[in-house]
Structures are given as C-alpha cells and as structure tokens.
Amino acid sequence: MAKKSPAKKSPAKTSNAKASNGRPAGLFTWIAVGLVVVVVAALVIIKVVSGPATTTTTGAFQATDATTVSELTTIPSSVFNTVGVTSPVAPVSAPFQLKGQPLLTGTSSAGTKVPKILYVGAEYCPFCAAERWSTIIALSRFGTWKGLGNTTSSSIDVYASTPTFTFVKASYSSKYLAFSGVEELNNVYNPATKTYGPLQTPTPAEQAIFSKYDTPKYIKTMTAADTGSIPFVSFGNQFVQSGASYTPATLAGLTRSQIAGALSDPTSPVTAAIVASANYQVAALCTLTKQQPSNVCTSSGVVAAKKAMKL
C-alpha cells in the first residue's frame, strides 16, 4: 500500500480545518503536525479536521481539458489486461472487504436505486492526489464523468504539488453506480492559522459512514492513530480504501499531461501503478454491480484482481 494522507478527524465544530496526524498505508508512514513531517515504516494516511458546512472557493476553478479527460477515461482494455495487478515501481494495495454490512445505495443517473461510492478527501493531500487517478479510471469503466477539475496537492507538503484532479464540481453518470465526492479542504495553506481553506463538508449521513468505517474495527491493518484518515473511499460499504493504494512518489517529477498521455502504454511504470490500483477497485465494484458490465467484469485484468483479492 502507499501512504495515506493525514486523515481528518470527524468534522470539528470550528471554522478552520487544520492538518493533523496521519500515516501512510503500507510503504511508510507520514505523521504531519503543522508542517513537521516524519517518515517511518507503515501505512499512508493524512489527517485533517473538517471545515464548516459551506462550500468556499479560493481562486478560479480550472476545468480539466477534454484531451486529458479522454486519456483518463478511455484507456484501452488491453492496458488493463496487460497490467493486471503488477506494478514494477511500487506496491499496490486492494480495497479492504467488509463483511455483513448494509449496502450503501444512491440514485443512478437513470433514477434507479444502485450501490453508491463515497469519497472523502482534500485537495492539499498528496495521497488523495494519487488515489484520484485510480478511482476516476475505475469508475469510468461503469459510467461517465463531467466537471472534473485540475489541481495539485499542497506545494509545501510531502510529495509537493502532486498533479491530480478535484471532485469539487464533478458529477458522475452511470446506470450501475452512484458517486459522491467530498473535498473538505483546498490546497492553499495559511501560515498564520496553520490551516488549509474549507471547501466542502460531508452530509451527516456521509460523516456517519466515514466515522464508522475509517477505523481499526473495520480495517484490520489500521491502528488507532490512523482513525479518520484520508483519502477514504467506501465502495457501497462492502469495501473500503483508507489511504492511497500506491505511493504518490510514483508521480514525482511528472506533469498531469505526461501522466495522462502515458495511460495507453502498459509498459509505463507509472501507468502500471495507477492501472493496477484501478483494476483492484473495478474488481470490488463488479461485486456491487453483480458482475456488470460483463465485458469489464470478465476481462483478464479484473479477473486477476479478483483472484488476488480472493473474490
């Protein structure tokens, strides 16, 4: 597993959200208090205290260009199948399967009740930055994205300025799945308050899911110190991902266009890490959709992920 960004504690009733403790999942641990960063062996997580129940913006939203969106969401099936779950540059972790939990549902673009994916993260978080690549790609195999925006992780944090996307204005259409993305904080650090600016707040129902499942009770590899870490993704409350599934170091020194442009090349080490993570997520999603669409869920790359996850 790659690191997790400093996680957020449940929304504090304060007007400012502060970066707090966190640890990476799998490769090494990042513990950040203010701007102090310690790297140790463990899991990747970022902790934050969430902001107020309003949406605030700082600076102009930059929509992702059509070429990048296409490169991100129309990766050839052969790439998924060639990569499978193998990454030569970094370990890649799969979502953690839950047992006996009620299915989280939402409304599809067709107005039907379907399994729902919940993402909780922040724009400053480098581990969220890495994970969004895989999550967007995985969900694109079941539906269509609109409103994705460009952003980078914090310029003063570990893995500074990791290129990524933001869900702050994104929408997702699918007949199989529903999606809700929450970006709690932006990437603009205020040294006077030692905070990042607030963007979005989870609904009470979303916060309840985050508070319940982003804990050692349900994620057995997590320690108490990692409780409430981001990025957090619930796949219908049947699988969860806490922290990045591969290290953001994989993306270091590359632009967004370079990363996206290489996604059609399965021999690219960066592509391998991102797509291996996406295959794991697709395998989890296929259990929610009852193995539909069949051409995706029976493809060799996804079958390899299912086998590795013992699904």
Which tens digit of pLDDT belongs to each residue from 88-107?
999 999 999 999 999 999 99
Q: Residue with structure tokens 């992702």? A: 64
- Return the pLDDT at 61: 87
Q: Is the dihedral of CA 117, 249, 224, 33 positive or negative?
A: negative
pLDDT tens string 177-192: 999 999 999 999 989 9
- Cα–Cα nearest to 184, from 241, 125, 239, 242: 125
Across the chain, the runs of DSSP E, i.e. the strands, are 6-9, 17-18, 29-33, 36-40, 46-49, 96-97, 105-107, 113-121, 144-146, 149-152, 163-166, 171-173, 178-183, 185-190, 195-198, 232-235, 239-242
* Per-residue tokens: 223: 């320690």
- Return the pLDDT at 220: 87
* Bridge partners, residue 143, by sequence: none
- Return the pLDDT at 289: 98
Distance CA 272, CA 264 (A): 10
- Cα–Cα nearest to 115, from 142, 135, 95: 142
- Return the pLDDT at 193: 87
Q: How far is CA 226 from CA 33, 35, 137, in A?
A: 14, 18, 26
Do 304 and 84 meet the contact criterion of CB atoms below 8 Å apart?
A: yes
pLDDT tens string 50-68: 333 333 334 578 999 999 9
- Cα–Cα nearest to 238, from 119, 138, 105, 98: 98
Distance CA 218, CA 99 (A): 9
Cβ-based neighbours of 253, under 8 Å, separated by 6 or more: none
In this structure, how many other beta carbons lie within 10 angstroms of the beta carbon of residue 115? Answer: 21
* Per-residue tokens: 281: 């997520």
Do 108 and 172 meet the contact criterion of CB atoms below 8 Å apart?
A: no
- Return the pLDDT at 60: 74
Low-confidence ranges of the chain (pLDDT < 70): 1-59
Do 106 and 218 meet the contact criterion of CB atoms below 8 Å apart?
A: no
- The conformational region for residue 250 under phi > 0 = left, psi -120 to 50 = alpha, else beta, is alpha
* Per-residue tokens: 61: 């939203």
- Cα–Cα nearest to 199, from 141, 132, 124, 273: 124
- Return the pLDDT at 247: 97
Distance CA 298, CA 282 (A): 11
